[in-house]
Amino acid sequence: MMDKESRRLTSILQAMEDGIYIVRNDFTVEFMNKAMIDDFGEGTGRKCYQVINRSDEICPWCRAEVVFGGEILRWELYVPTVNKNYELTELPLTSADGTISKLSIYRDITQKKRREEKIKTSEQDYKRLFEHVGCGVYISSKEGKFLNANQALLNMLGYKSKEEFLEIDITKDLYLRPKDRLKFQEMIERQGHVIDYEVDFKRRDGKVISVVLTSHVRYDEHGNVLGYEGIIVDESERKQMERELKEAHDFLNKVIQSSPNAIIAADLNGNIIIWNRAAEEILGYKAEDVIGKMNIVKIYPEGMAKEVMQMMRSPDYDSVGKLTSYPMVYVRHDGKIVEGNLSASIIYDANGKEVASVGIFVDLKERLEMERKLRQTQEQLLQSEKLAAMGRLTSQIAHELNNPLYGIMNTLELMKTEISPQSKRRKIVEMALSETVRLTELLRKMLSFSKPDQEERQLVDINTVLDEILILVDKQLREVGIRISCFKVE
């Protein structure tokens, strides 16, 4: 009957997946089941340390003496010879003759240990990441309390103590505008997550910072919302940079728009991308009608736009990529021609590749009109100078001729009185006298036309002048019975 029970027990032990072996108190193996043999090979009758550790000495981890003393042990063991971990249960077994053996039941937990190690490693990695990542990481409840947060988040929000931070009311103490918290909850619970949600937070010192939230919902096993977890990125520097860039852009735009000269830019296809107010006024096109809608060639005479690009690329005009104060004409919206000077340059990217061109056009309409009027005035002044010079010359000639002509006239008058009216010579004298009178009248008209600016006054001897006049008119005075007596007063 006992043999039958022993065989039945042996069959049960052989069928078990766990390894089972029995060792006497002298460490000799009495029994090994199939699972044990598969792991360590047949070792019945040999010492247990020879079978398990491939050694002639007792295993360094052996606790057989404790079991032989009557205790039951449950512990984990790593066996280097097979590179496996085992969960071991050892208990004393008393035979019919009263001897005590050790029954050991082990289970291979190698995969379990490896999974645990991976989980442990992952937890450690996650903890390191949680604590050392540059952005804020948090876990919060739905009710508005932080459950955990990393040091980066504490530093970002100005808290020195995590305990103090976990006590704050998120809606009231963190959000600058409490309604933003409600909006965040509505979005994240509807979608299950939010990505790059921009919001303003309050630091512990009251300073406002701009942050971006990327978070997802935490659910319980029934699908109820427990809270939220995610990352918070401080956007203050980026926002500040954006503001500075915007201010710089706005200032540059104001400079361009306030320029009294037309500033025009176009891409390499000729599409206009900048058109300031001066360009609107000078060329008659509105910015909204040309930017992205009109090609630059339309404001140039035919073929001129291409020629300008060739000149900018040529070393013959200033330096390559530039054109300075080149005389240019543009065609206005109404078809009129606008004259001026063009200064232009090619815009290059960081790699030196052409990307666009920009030009500044100076409208010289008023200046050119002034120059034309100035030239006309100069020509008129020159003509006036010529006429004035001619007038002065004419006046001088007339003055020089008048006196001799009057002398000739008086002489001819005297000759006429000496000649009989019936004589042919008298008629000739009268003809000569008539022509002389006509000549003196012509000289008088020339003097009247020239109108010299100022007579040149000279000192003269009045007695000499009177004597010459009396000689010239003496004959006429005697004919009418007039006698003049002259005497000098000393």
> Considering only 133-137, 184-188, 353-357, 393-397, which range has the smallest mean pLDDT?
393-397
- Alpha-carbon dihedral of residues 220, 221, 222, 223, nearest 10 degrees? 50
Given a contact cutoff of 8 angstroms between Cβ atoms, the answer to whether 62 and 44 are in contact is no
**DSSP type of residue 19:** E
Using alpha carbons, select from 190, 197, 269, 188 the residue that is nearest to residue 228. Answer: 188
Half-sphere exposure of 48 (CA within 13 A, CB side): 26
Greater confidence, 440 or 140? 140
Residue 90 confidence (pLDDT): 93
Greater confidence, 30 or 318? 30
Does 152 have pLDDT greater than 60? Answer: yes
What separation in angstroms does the CA of 338 have from each of 178, 225, 295? 60, 72, 18
37-58 pLDDT, tens digit per residue, is 988 999 999 999 999 999 999 9
Residue 406 confidence (pLDDT): 73
Does 159 have pLDDT greater than 90? Answer: yes
Does 484 have pLDDT greater than 90? Answer: no
Residues 6+ apart with CB under 8 A from 249: none
> Considering only 95-109, 152-166, 187-201, 405-419, which range has the smallest mean pLDDT?
405-419
247-292 pLDDT, tens digit per residue, is 988 898 898 888 888 899 999 899 999 999 988 988 889 989 999 9
What's the pLDDT band for 334 if we cut at 50, 70, 90? confident
**Mean pLDDT across 322-330:** 85
Whole-model pTM?
Answer: 0.44
403-439 pLDDT, tens digit per residue, is 777 778 778 777 777 787 777 777 777 777 788 778 7
Residue 213 confidence (pLDDT): 93
Given a contact cutoff of 8 angstroms between Cβ atoms, the answer to whether 275 and 291 are in contact is yes
**Mean pLDDT across 61-75:** 91
Residue 450 confidence (pLDDT): 58
Does 455 have pLDDT greater than 60? Answer: no
Cα of first residue to Cα of last residue in the chain, in angstroms, is: 201
Does 235 have pLDDT greater than 90? Answer: no
Using alpha carbons, select from 445, 338, 463 the residue that is nearest to residue 402. Answer: 445
What's the pLDDT band for 29 if we cut at 50, 70, 90? very high
Residue 1 confidence (pLDDT): 44
Does 196 have pLDDT greater than 70? Answer: yes
Rounded distance, CA 381 to CA 387, Å?
10
Domains and CATH numbers, the chain: 16-110 (3.30.450.20), 133-239 (3.30.450.20), 259-363 (3.30.450.20), 372-479 (no CATH)
The identity of residue 181, as a single letter, is R
What share of the chain has pLDDT > 90, as a percent?
36
Does 19 have pLDDT greater than 70? Answer: yes
Handedness of CA 29, 34, 37, 42 (dihedral sign): positive
Does 463 have pLDDT greater than 80? Answer: no
Given a contact cutoff of 8 angstroms between Cβ atoms, the answer to whether 264 and 279 are in contact is yes
What's the pLDDT band for 366 if we cut at 50, 70, 90? low
Rounded distance, CA 37 to CA 52, Å?
10
**Mean pLDDT across 439-446:** 74
Residue 2 confidence (pLDDT): 47
- pLDDT, the chain, mean: 84
**Mean pLDDT across 83-105:** 89
Does 157 have pLDDT greater than 90? Answer: yes
